[in-house]
Amino acid sequence: MTASGALGAAAQVAVVGGGSPLLVGLMRQVRARMEGRAGAGVLQPWRDLRKLLRKEPITPAGTAWVFRAAPLVLAATVLVVAAVAPFATTSSPLDRIADLFAVAALLALGTVALALAGLDTGTAFGGMGASREMTVMALVEPTILLSVFALSVRVGSTNLAAIVGEAVRDPRAVISPVSLLAAVALAVATVAEAGRLPVDNPSTHLELTMIHEAMVLEYAGPDLALVEWASAMRLSVLLGLLTSLFAPWGITTGAGLAVLPLALVVFAAKVAALGVVLAAGEVFLAKLRLFRVPELLAGSFLLALLAVAASFFLG
Amino acid sequence: MSVAGSAFTVALGLSAAAAVAGLAAPRRTRPLLVGLGTTAAGVAGVVAGVAALGGGSFSAWLPDLLPLAGVRLALDPLGGLFVAVTGAVAVCAAVYGVGYVAPNAVEDGSHGDGRAVQAMLPLFVAAMLLVPAAASVSTLLVVWELMALTSLLLVLAEHRRRAAVGEAARWYAVMTHLGLLVILAGLVGFAAAAHGESFAQLRAAAGGMSPAVRGAVFATTLLGFASKAGVVPLHVWLPRAHPEAPSYVSALMSAAMVNLGVYGVLRVGLDLLGGGSRWWWLLVLAAGAGSALYGILQAVVAVDLKRLLAYSTTENMGLVFIGVGAGGYFAATGSRVLAGLALTAGLLHLVNHAGFKTVLFCSAGSVLRATGSRDLDALGGLRSRMPVTTALFAIGALAASALPPGNGFVSEWLLLQSLVHALPTSATATAVVMPLAVAVVALTAGLAVATFVKAFGVGFLARPRGPGAEQARESPPSMLAGTGLAAIACVALAVAPAAVLPGLSRAAGAALGAGAVDSVHGPVTLRLTGFAGSMSPLLIAVALLAAAVGALAGVRSLVVRRARRVARLWDCGAGPMTARMQYTATSFAEPLQRVFDDVLAPETDVDVTPTAESAYLVERVKFQARVPDRIEYRLYRPVLAATRMVGEAARGLANGSVHRYLGYGFFAFTGLLIVLAVIR
């Protein structure tokens, strides 16, 4: 454990925590401009959060501790992932738990907390959202774990820092059939996990078409602020994982403090760029019917399986 | 006599004493005496098992106890592990059972405090303790049958209340005896080929046998042991017998008895036969993968809480079989370190499963006892009525869904690691099998999460969906204590798996015959031996807690303090919502059921009754949906139908005439003599 590693982990958490609402704002702004609207500005999510924090806390009738604790669990899982994942530095003091399987499981834990909260409300919408979210999650999991498998073969470890560190040392290895196939598979899985188009529409206003929004329909005030913030962080963490795995440039592997600010800036720029691409892509996409989503996920699963096969037969 | 030996003797003696108490004591004190005796026997069993795991083995030969062969007992680390797990589960189940059998308000009549049932419980525990300690074929078969019979009688405990109990017990009786039959055939053939029936003789002779004989012995015994472990397609008894048994018996069967199927495979396949060909273990792996997937798919659509848990047992035994199969396969290919890792992962999952399945079945029993219902669609709203049971079930569900910081996560992580690290080392077969195994484990993990979100979210949260759930009350202290003990074990396994890992490595070493190689080391951070990989369950738990506290403090400092207000739920402005408008377990699982339509083949039946006036006006719509066990439908029903047809045809032979029967005897005997005359 080094001081610079600990500082790097703390800086990652700070950047993810502070920058995530901006990422959401940026993506909304890009979308608005491309659709010919003026947009509310990049800072709007932060203004929304401030407004929500000032509102009175509300307990929906008949809900209990599960409902109250879920936003905290969601936020906690994302914060832990933000601290351990090699976004800017590979020497986080918590890198013992920076295993890709563990990271995937932690993110799943956050989803589960929200799904239970959705069920706890006892409304049809809450249950519906929870049921759909669990369906998507159950089908995304195999893709994620198989892609992890494919990426780990070259390094001989599923540790994120090890995978990223190896890629930083030998950047050409990133451009291989294995990594390309795994990248596409993981990208689809990320879109599904983050609840973006075409799996879920984050800006929908019709309860019947919601997945994520239906689960959190009953949240209001500061609780909603926490959920919104954690969801934004989740998006940036997922995009961050994609960039770290497939575009590891600029991540520091040493103990030096001087390069850390630069690494953080590069990380923010990479995630912002990926976010802009995602938002631009969403302009041209419509949401898939719920029962067509499994076909998309099955496709990504096949790609992940091909990636594993390629890692053996071509590696 | 060693610690292991004396503790084991004490455990058997206490079980016998408890059985006598069950027969002799008056009804008022009977459950308490039996519970105490069984608890003490369980504790002694744990001591014996742990001592054996630590290296304090013992063996005994009692030549006069059983005619012809005598009884041979021995405890090595492998057997010790299973004795310890059985003992621990027995402690929890026995404590729980004391409160469970007492009469209560919701369900009239007893829950099995009769003499026979009470005497069977300690005998069942004793039989399960004896199976891993048996050291000869005849001893193993006798105690195996004793275990089957006592558990069968316990399954029958509530047969006067529900007709389904009888049917479940018939399925169980037939399946378990068919299993005994194939194990008997395999082991007797093995003993005949080895010219001796003690395990030491078998072990010594196995090396000289032809691969065909060894393969045949393995395949036949595998059938029997896999059926005891509830592995697909031999699982059909399990989702019937486990739900119908009293809940503490379900816990014992599901958390302790099914393990002995795994024990049998390890003992015969790895220890006695000494490994063998790759196809054996690929067979085990394939069976495990099939069970894991099929079990969890059935669990995800199940609406009966105990049936869901029973299918989850099939799933988890499948995962253990994946570990065992991978371990055997790696051993057969010569990578011993990897074999140790896979086997340790499988055994850790077995221990974890024993822990969380005890919690889950016991809390399901509490729910059943408090609400009178196992149907998830009629439950809900228990978190305020049964807060402790809800919390305990939550611990079990977290573990069963293999998410951090639960204990199931650690073993699934180890299992995945052992599969992942196999790829760069060896042949094409490995490269094909391992990714598929990882995919199966991954899909199983995802579906397990959905299953337990459903079980917990629909069963315990929200509002009551039925009158039973509305009137539920918290269970008596002994039931909570029994469940709580198992939950504490789960938490301990979740944060400090390193406490049991050396023992598991020794058990795996005893099975592989490679001596003790700790495949995982480190007290807080688990590190794999020989491979890059580390995990710290304690650190994850602490980090999560710290992050949650940090987030809470952050929000608290930012938020403008105002009083919390209770508000109406969003009902689209259509007035207050009733409990019937909630999502049910059926509706929760419907999307997944639709996705896996081709595998599950659900049946729906819509019956529309029009009014007398017009065919367009509907008076009543009856909708029925069920997901039958497809394997049972496709594989067993035809066999049963054929058997029935043969039986019907054979009825014509027996018309009640004594002359005819004497004639049959005469012709059969003459025919036999003629056959003998021809072939001799």
Please tell me which residue of chain A has the smallest CA distance to B440.
Answer: A142
User: Which helix (H) or strand (E) covers residue B151, if one does?
Assistant: helix B137-155
Residue B193, in any domain of the structure: no
Q: What is the mean pLDDT of chain A?
A: 88
pLDDT band, very low/low/confident/very high, at A32 (cuts 50, 70, 90): very high
> B167: buried, middle or exposed (CB in 10 Å: 19+, 13-18, 0-12)?
middle
Tell me how many degrees the CA angle A12-A18-A24 measures, rounded to the nearest 5.
Answer: 110
Say if residue B269's pLDDT is above 70. Answer: yes
How far off is chain B from A283, nearest CA to CA, in Å?
27
ipTM confidence: 0.94
**Region A209-233 average pLDDT:** 90
Say if residue B361's pLDDT is above 90. Answer: yes
Q: What is the pLDDT of residues A133-143, one digit of tens each?
A: 999 999 998 89
B453 touches chain A (CB under 8 A): yes
* The predicted structure's pLDDT at residue B324: 94
**A125, A117 Cβ separation under 8 angstroms:** no
* The predicted structure's pLDDT at residue A120: 92
Tell me how many degrees the CA angle A267-A270-A273 measures, rounded to the nearest 5.
Answer: 145
Alpha-carbon radius of gyration of chain A = 19
User: Which helix (H) or strand (E) covers residue B309, if one does?
Assistant: helix B305-333
How far, in Å, CA of B91 to CA of B481, rounded?
A: 11
**Region B541-556 average pLDDT:** 92
CA end-to-end distance (rounded Å), chain A: 33
Residue B216, in any domain of the structure: no
CA distances, B255 to each of A249, B92, B181 (Å):
49, 11, 24
**Quick check: B446 and A139 CB within 8 A?**
yes
Tell me how many degrees the CA angle B308-B311-B314 measures, rounded to the nearest 5.
Answer: 155
Backbone φ, ψ for residue B160 (5° rounding): -80, -20
In eight-state DSSP terms, residue A122 is: T
Q: What percent of chain B has pLDDT over 70?
A: 97
Q: Which residue has the higher pLDDT, B561 or B309?
A: B309
Domain housing B325? 277-538+581-600
Q: What is the pLDDT of residues B629-647, one digit of tens each?
A: 888 888 888 999 999 999 9
How far, in Å, CA of B45 to CA of B55, rounded?
A: 15
**Region B486-494 average pLDDT:** 94
Using a CB-CB distance cutoff of 8 angstroms, which residues of chain A are in contact with residue B417?
Answer: 158
How far, in Å, CA of B493 to CA of B537, rounded?
A: 10
How far, in Å, CA of A52 to CA of A32, rounded?
A: 23
pLDDT band, very low/low/confident/very high, at B425 (cuts 50, 70, 90): low
pLDDT band, very low/low/confident/very high, at A278 (cuts 50, 70, 90): very high
In chain B, % helix, strand, coil (3-state, to 5) comes to 70, 5, 25
pLDDT band, very low/low/confident/very high, at B575 (cuts 50, 70, 90): confident
Residue B344, in any domain of the structure: yes
**Quick check: A134 and B566 CB within 8 A?**
no
Backbone φ, ψ for residue B107 (5° rounding): -110, 125
Query: B477-495 vs B537-558: helix axis angle to the nearest 10?
Result: 100
Interacting residues of A300 by C-beta distance below 8 A, sequence separation 6+: A143, A184, A185, A188, A189
How far off is chain A from B525, nearest CA to CA, in Å?
7
* The predicted structure's pLDDT at residue B516: 53
Cβ pairs bridging A and B (under 8 Å): 259
pLDDT band, very low/low/confident/very high, at B515 (cuts 50, 70, 90): low
Task: Find where tokens 């030549």 sit.
Answer: B63
DSSP of A256-308: -STTHHHHHHHHHHHHHHHHHHHHHHHHT--PPPGGGHHHHHHHHHHHHHHHH
Q: Which residue has the higher pLDDT, B173 or B422?
A: B173
CA end-to-end distance (rounded Å), chain B: 54
Say if residue A1's pLDDT is above 60. Answer: no
Copy the structure tokens of residue A261: 């600010």
Please tell me which residue of chain B has the smallest CA distance to A77.
Answer: B544
How far, in Å, CA of B7 to CA of B406, rounded?
A: 32
How far, in Å, CA of B330 to CA of B472, rounded?
A: 51
Copy the structure tokens of residue A202: 């984050």
Residue B291, in any domain of the structure: yes
Residue B466, in any domain of the structure: yes
- Mutation pick from A49, A59, A80 vs chain B, by most beta carbons of B within 10 Å, is A80
Q: How many residues does chain B have?
A: 680
* The predicted structure's pLDDT at residue B558: 86
Q: What is the pLDDT of residues B384-397, one digit of tens each?
A: 999 999 999 999 99
How far, in Å, CA of B473 to CA of B476, rounded?
A: 9
Q: pTM, whole model, 2 decimals?
A: 0.94
Nearest to A107 by CA among A129, A138, A74, A134: A74
In eight-state DSSP terms, residue B112 is: S
**B17, B61 Cβ separation under 8 angstroms:** no
How far, in Å, CA of B457 to CA of B450, rounded?
A: 10
How far, in Å, CA of B272 to CA of B144, rounded?
A: 18
Which chain B residues in 565-624 lie under 8 Å from chain A, judged by CB atoms? 565-572, 577, 579, 581-583, 587-592, 594-595
How far, in Å, CA of B6 to CA of A147, rounded?
A: 52
* Residue B498 C-alpha from the chain's centroid: 24
How far off is chain B from A313, nearest CA to CA, in Å?
9
How far, in Å, CA of A244 to CA of A247, rounded?
A: 6
**Quick check: B533 and A157 CB within 8 A?**
yes
**Quick check: B438 and A54 CB within 8 A?**
no
How far off is chain B from A279, nearest CA to CA, in Å?
28
* The predicted structure's pLDDT at residue B396: 95
How far, in Å, CA of A254 to CA of B284, rounded?
A: 46
Q: What is the pLDDT of residues A235-270, one digit of tens each?
A: 999 999 999 998 888 888 776 677 888 889 999 999
Helices (H), chain A: 3-34, 44-54, 65-84, 100-120, 124-155, 160-169, 177-194, 212-215, 221-246, 260-283, 293-313
Boundaries of every domain in chain A? 3-313
Q: What is the pLDDT of residues B131-189, one digit of tens each?
A: 999 999 999 999 999 999 999 999 988 888 888 899 999 999 999 999 999 999 999 99
**Quick check: A124 and B583 CB within 8 A?**
yes
Copy the structure tokens of residue A46: 């932060």
**B205 CB neighbour count, 10 Å cutoff:** 16
